[in-house]
Chain A
């Protein structure tokens, strides 16, 4: 027998190409109150061993062979995965069937969802393939709100419970601070508006011309005033919008934001407002706040920690702004008396920002696409 097996191996060895990895499945869960959904990746090789997929027995599994067995695959797999929330079961239904590749070959992907009659601790009982291959493992990732837990299911650890307690207020604030920093960083229009306002901070207007400031202090105070005014203004409208006290159409908001950038840039070239730029920062900051609010709406605010999340997001936006200022101000101050700064950075930069923002304005106001 042993000899036969060895011969058999020689016959098939040249045709095999998949990797030698122990059998694993990859399970990802998303848990919400009253509802679970997720995705389960199961190796085709394992499904073949368990229920047979290679209908024509030619050693190859085609998409046709797999899709013909989708109902069987779903009922076989989902019968081996029990989810309970609180005291009530969450019966799972397959919602879609796809395919994916992992480091050892092709996997069937089952998307599933289930309703739970109760809420509370999530209990998962996993028993896929254990009777066929006790070395099989289910590698799971459970997401609940902003918390992600991982687990490995095996025959000795087939049932595990997950405490989905909401994260602490502090954790939540930290999460939103991070989001705030990230969104000022990728919110290109807000950054450009701020830079357009800051470019003249190291210069002073005298007799229709820009001259470098002589000391750091006035430049610093000018920046502080502008940034503070912008911050206070957008914090006000961000909060009002996030609390759903005021709502403006997003096309209008986005268009006015683009217009504010155009205005701020042109104002450097043909000054209308050269004193009290902080007032301009405040006025347009009110509009930018609505822009931040739409980001926050997309993120989803936790109902139980609305104010702390809002606070965290605001702090994050400020930190992001401060980081930009901290890089900009020393550089600008050092270069302020050079022709490079007055011609290239200040004048050239303002022209480029104005053109770019004008294109955004056209795109947003007319709902067309100019930049790819």
Chain B
């Protein structure tokens, strides 16, 4: 009866591919079997310091200074590693102020940043407004709100927050804030000169500040067609030795766009755990047609399935590109890109929607992006070529 047992086995496989249960649970036989490697080794002195702060906070959960210390430490970890569990830990530290509009400005600001991470921009802006009510000159909030408004393509609003900083803050802060918006709205060359000048005159500023400037400069140089300069900016940013998801994903895209797939694989090979970076790694591996491509693609497929089970929609950008390039499902890619554009309107979001619309031959779906390109006067040869293609002309 082996045929029927084979068929039985097939049924089980089909049922399990529903994804709920990964495999049959097992009982290891050896006590020394290592089941899991933790991201932080408790023996490490600095990990111990964070654990100690967490323990002190557990004893005094309404201590705003301690709560800020713990939450911002986890927030920084999330930004470096791209690990959403750290966002959860930061939220837990902020929980005592969850419904308190009179919380200290620092706390209102950080809670806003946590919402921003989850792409919940409207409630984030509300918290930023509350923070500025408590402290009208709160620098982090002004700069954070300017960034969110830029994401939403409200450039006038974003500029207003930079101007507010002008009266109180160092030139580096307000000038870079303004130059960044200029760079998005038709003055890329001037913005690049301004930011390069700021970088030169503030060489002693914090490495995080330099990272911010260098990544924006690299983007501007790329869009201005100065690939070699962009490469130099990225190299300098990497030399700062700061782990940053933003830097790695931008440089990864840069390498892929310039056909340097092997370098992209080398850059991102150890970042399979980050969905954002795994997408770039998968695309590069696909272009090189290397054996790992299948594994990467399958892993990403499982992650998207797991996120869907939770009801998460944070990965629309990555999922749209994945559907387009790997699954070759143009319709699904376009759906995701359209849904993403409804939430956020950065150049990267525009690119995803244009690419999906070109593949699906659906100019109508990309009309909002074409309008945005015309209104913002955003300069990017890559986007212009896509728009040209969509409108039926030669690139």
Instruction: Tell me the A residues contacting B by CB distance below 8 Å.
Output: 1-24, 26, 28, 39, 41, 44-46, 48-49, 54, 57-64, 66-67, 98-106, 109, 131-137, 139, 141, 152, 185-188, 360, 371-372
User: How far is A66 from B26 in the complex, measured between Cα atoms in Å?
Assistant: 14
B243 → chain A closest CB, angstroms: 5
Q: Check B89 against A60 for contact (C-beta < 8 Å).
A: no
Check B33 for interface membership: any CB of A closer than 8 A.
yes
State whether A12 touches B20 (Cβ < 8 A): no
Q: Chain B nearest CB: distance from A343 CB in Å?
A: 25
Residue of B nearest to A183 (CB): B4
CB atoms of A106 and B36 under 8 A apart: yes
Asked if B35 CB lies within 8 Å of chain A CBs, one says: yes
Is A133 a contact of B41 with CB atoms below 8 Å? no
Which 5 A-B pairs rank lowest in CB-CB distance, beginning with the nearest?
A64-B31, A133-B88, A59-B41, A98-B25, A135-B88
- Contact call B83/A20, Cβ cutoff below 8 A: yes
Cβ A19 vs Cβ B303 within 8 A: yes
Residues of A within 8 A of B243 (CB): 6, 9-10, 13
- Number of contact residues on B: which range applies? 35 or more
Judge whether A188 and B1 touch: CB under 8 Å: yes
CB-nearest residue of chain A relative to B243?
A: A9
**CA of A154 to CA of B394 in the docked complex: distance in angstroms?**
51
Pick the residue among A24, A63, A103, A141 that contacts B302 (CB under 8 A).
A103
Tell me the interface secondary structure of chain A in the complex: mixed
Which of A10, A22, A104 sits near B241, CB closer than 8 Å? A10
Contacts of A48 in B (CB 8 A): 36, 38
A160–B243 alpha-carbon span in the complex (Å): 41
Contact A24 B46 (CB under 8 A): no
The listed residue (A4, A57, A67) touching B31 by CB distance below 8 A is: A67
Partner of B77, one of A9, A28, A152: A9
Which of B226-234, B268-276, B286-294, B324-332 binds A?
B268-276
Q: At the interface, yes or no: B60 with Cβ under 8 Å from chain A?
A: no
Q: A-facing mask of B34-78, CB < 8 A → 1, else 0?
A: 111111111110110110000000000000000001001100110
Contact (Cβ within 8 A) B34 A60: yes
Which of B144-152, B189-197, B306-314, B349-357 lies on the face that meets chain A?
A: B306-314
Considering only CB atoms, which chain B residue lies closest to A14 in the complex?
B270
Complex contact B2–A372 (CB within 8 A) = yes
A45–B83 Cα distance when bound, in Å, is: 13
Q: Is the CB of B37 within 8 A of A8?
A: no
Nearest-CB residue, chain B, relative to A20: B83
- What's the minimum C-beta distance from A44 to chain B, rounded to whole angstroms? 4
